[in-house]
Amino acid sequence: MSETVAAGGPPEQEAFLQLRDVAKNLGGNPVLAGVSLDVFEGDLLGLLGPSGSGKTTLLNIIGGFTDLDAGSVRIAGQDLTALPPHRRDIGITFQKYALFPHLTVFDNIGFGLRQRKVAAPELRQRVGEMLAVLGLTGLAGRYPRSLSGGEQQRVALARALAVRPRLMLLDEPLANLDAALRQRVRFEIREILRSTGVTSIFVTHDQDEAFALCDRVAVLRGGRIQQIGTPAELIYQPANAFVARFIGSPNVFEASVQHYDAQTQSIRFVRDRFTGAACVRAPLTPGTRVEVFVRPDEVVIARADDVQPAKFRVKDWVHLVSGREAWIEGPITLRARLPSEATHLERGAAVIPSWRPERAHAFAIEPAPPAAATT
């Protein structure tokens, strides 16, 4: 299985931001290893990964705050290695905003323009534009400490965008907002980034956020890119067991391969007396131990009849916002989701689960890797 997956985008087009085999050790640990990434002009790329996977370190390397041990970072064909941070022309927003507390909202947003010696009238006009775009007009004279979290977040965005950087890096910009605000600001950010047309990398550990905002998403784990693709690709064609497990909290169970069908690239597997189908990424020989991933909303349950003996029983219901989730028990325990108006299935009812083979994913269980990868 390859570490990086084809980046998509028109093949003849040269990527605007190119990372090649970027590696970084911190305190003796490989924090990033062989990271290659292409971001095309005007794209919004999501960088998704669990805590400690190296997302912030990667942004620090692109921003020039951390030296890389190996590899290269290029923007528009130019190698950035020797370029100090203040000459990179990359806008950054930080998880804790890092606004300048001694400056007003106006002066925070105008800070970058001042560094560029933009004349006063133009500065006033451009800051005014940013204030208007981000709905901050009434707050120009306020100091950061008197702003709400959402307002501070928008000031941070305005401050970075005011200088019209060629690349924007956003490090978990919504992490400090409450759930309702997060939903709203999420789309505001997308609209603003779209309307400015700036190429951006959006870091998050929230997959809903990444999928809602980004054209393409890179999944990072333990300093390695697991997969890069559109949200649909990550959901329906996970590249490996980690991505399959990480996206959409699927059912996970072990089984062994009964039969491999080269034509459909799928297997039949057996677990105790339960058999099912799943698609695979590589040919597997019968008897191979696999892990099978299938998301609850792909699992269809039908009441068992006399023809097919029931192997599963409904154990319990859980009510979720999106519908009801049934726990069914048999050789394995599975979660299945049904719309709330679905037929009533009482506890203890005999049922049969099934799914479309291409919606379940099986990966061979590799011999336990050394500690670093078992997150």
Partner 1 sequence: MQVAPAIRSSRLSRRATSLLLLAPTTLLYLTVYLGGLVMVLVMSIDVPPGVDSGGATLAHYRDVFGSAPIGAIVLRTLRDSLATVAGCLLLGVPVARYITASASRWKGIVLMAVLSPLMVSAIGRIFGWIALFGPGSVIADGLTALFGGKPTGLLYTEAAIIIGLTNLLLPFMVLSVASSRAHFEEDMSKAALSLGATPLSVLLQVELPLIFPGILSGALIVFSLSTTNFVTAALLGGSGRDLVGYEIYLDILVYFQQGRGAALAMLLLVVVVALMALAIQTGVQRHEVRDTAARTRGT
Ligand X SMILES: Nc1ncnc2c1ncn2[C@@H]1O[C@H](COP(=O)(O)OP(=O)(O)OP(=O)(O)O)[C@@H](O)[C@H]1O
Provide the binding-site residues for partner 1, judged by CB under 8 A: 60, 63-65, 84-92, 94, 96, 98-102, 104, 111-112, 115-116, 141-143, 145-146, 159-160, 163, 165
CB of 341 to ligand X, least distance (A): 39
- Work out what residue 31 binds among ligand X, partner 1, Mg ion, none; the CB cut-off runs from 5 to 8 Å by kind: ligand X
- Work out what residue 150 binds among Mg ion, ligand X, partner 1, none; the CB cut-off runs from 5 to 8 Å by kind: none
| Residue 152 lies near ligand X (rule: CB under 6 A) | no
**What is the distance between the alpha carbons of residues 115 and 362, in angstroms, rounded to a whole number?**
54
Q: Please tell me what DSSP assigns to residue 120.
A: H
| Options 49, 64, 165, 357; binder of ligand X; rule CB under 6 A | 49
**What is the distance between the alpha carbons of residues 91 and 162, in angstroms, rounded to a whole number?**
9
Closest CA to 63 of 73, 53, 54: 73
Quick check: helix, strand or coil at residue 291?
Answer: strand
| Residue 207 lies near ligand X (rule: CB under 6 A) | no
| Residue 108 lies near Mg ion (rule: CB under 5 A) | no
**What is the distance between the alpha carbons of residues 62 and 366, in angstroms, rounded to a whole number?**
33
CB of 181 to ligand X, least distance (A): 20
CB of 86 to partner 1, least distance (A): 5
| Options 4, 15, 17, 53; binder of ligand X; rule CB under 6 A | 53
- Which ranges of the chain does DSSP label H, i.e. alpha helix? 55-63, 105-115, 120-133, 149-161, 179-196, 207-213, 231-236, 241-246
| Residue 52 lies near ligand X (rule: CB under 6 A) | yes
Which of these ranges, 25-33, 249-257, 298-306, 322-330, lies near ligand X under the rule CB under 6 A?
Answer: 25-33
Which of these ranges, 7-15, 55-63, 128-136, 341-349, lies near ligand X under the rule CB under 6 A?
Answer: 55-63
CB of 52 to Mg ion, least distance (A): 8
Owner of token pair 């965008």? 161
Angle subtended at Cα 39 by Cα 33 and Cα 281, rounded to the nearest 5 degrees: 60
Quick check: helix, strand or coil at residue 167?
Answer: strand
Q: Which C-beta is closer to Mg ion: that of 173 or that of 238?
A: 173
User: What is the number of residues in the chain?
Assistant: 375
| Residue 56 lies near Mg ion (rule: CB under 5 A) | yes
| Residue 55 lies near ligand X (rule: CB under 6 A) | yes
Contact criterion met (CB below 8 Å) for 48 and 210: yes
CB of 303 to ligand X, least distance (A): 44
**What is the distance between the alpha carbons of residues 237 and 233, in angstroms, rounded to a whole number?**
5
Q: Which C-beta is closer to partner 1: that of 118 or that of 360?
A: 118
Q: Please tell me what DSSP assigns to residue 1.
A: -
Cβ-based burial of 128 (10 A; exposed 0-12, middle 13-18, buried ≥19): middle
- Work out what residue 141 binds among Mg ion, partner 1, ligand X, none; the CB cut-off runs from 5 to 8 Å by kind: partner 1
Dmax of the chain from CA atoms? Answer: 83
How big is the site for ligand X, counted in residues (CB under 6 A)?
13
Angle subtended at Cα 257 by Cα 251 and Cα 259, rounded to the nearest 5 degrees: 125
| Options 46, 54, 238, 296; binder of ligand X; rule CB under 6 A | 54
Residues contributing to the site for Mg ion (CB under 5 A): 56
Residues contributing to the site for ligand X (CB under 6 A): 26-27, 29, 31, 49, 51-57, 205
